[in-house]
Amino acid sequence: MQKHFISPAVIRRLPRYYRYLSELLEEGIERISSSELSRKMNVTASQIRQDLNNFGGFGQQGYGYNVQYLYTEIGKILGLDQQYHLIIIGAGNLGRALANYKKFEDRGFKIKGIFDSDLSLCGQPVAHLTIQHVNQLERFIKEENISIAALTLPKEQAEDMAKQLVDYGIQGIWNFAHTDLQLVKNVLVENVHLSESLMRLSYRLTNR
């Protein structure tokens, strides 16, 4: 398939398509029409056709979409056919929760280590890992070719840690700290602000 420009709005929706396609595969469904997929995903069939037309002509009249093909192609666009090595910084409950997600590995994210600044935690097992001290980060990131760091730290520590990580060669930060890490250059930051999500729910409850 030839690479071409895909709009950011489509890109934002791709992970959701990918998730639904993976569920269809698990159910053994080989092809699906845009109207069936539309019902499942609760978006219009025309939106689905428009979005998936970005991936070439494999939605065929009277046939629908080949689930496996679409899944694979979207996976390639999202970079899931590559393997990214990931570490977790902060071995609190959230860090441990991430370390235990089995799904990440299936999608090309290999969790290689978990780190904390608290010496008393170091050596403890978490999932298939052992907690290491943050003073091992520089060596580890280089030796293990780590490109992504998940930050599950208090916001006071996040900014300094992020800067260090960039110096050590980290390319992407998956940030769970309650700050936007704007001061950090030369790194891609994807924020997960849980409290903002809860506020959106609160807004909808209050104004329903």
Contact set with a second copy (CB under 8 A)? 11-12, 14-16, 18-19, 41-42, 77-80, 82, 84, 92-94, 96-98, 100-101, 103-104, 107-109, 147-148, 171-172, 174, 178, 180, 182, 188, 190, 192-208
Give min distance, CB of 192 to a second copy, in A: 5
Q: Which of 81, 73, 68, 39 is nearest to 53 (CA)?
A: 73
| Complex with a second copy: residue 11 or 119, whichever CB lies closer | 11
Strand, coil or helix: 113: strand
**Residue 86 to residue 67: CA distance in whole angstroms:** 29
| Complex with a second copy: residue 14 or 60, whichever CB lies closer | 14
Secondary structure, 3-state, 126-193: ECCEEEEEHHHHHHHHHHCCCCEEEECCCHHHHHHHHHHHHHHCCCEEEECCCCCCCCCCCCEEEECC
Give min distance, CB of 78 to a second copy, in A: 5
Q: Which two tokens stand for residue 169?
A: 């060669």
Report the 10 Å Cβ neighbour count for 114. Answer: 26
Q: Which of 153, 151, 156 is nearest to 188 (CA)?
A: 151
Q: Return the bridge partners of 60, or none.
A: 64
| Complex with a second copy: residue 107 or 133, whichever CB lies closer | 107
Give min distance, CB of 171 to a second copy, in A: 6
| Complex with a second copy: residue 60 or 100, whichever CB lies closer | 100
Give min distance, CB of 33 to a second copy, in A: 18
Give min distance, CB of 128 to a second copy, in A: 14
| Complex with a second copy: residue 17 or 65, whichever CB lies closer | 17
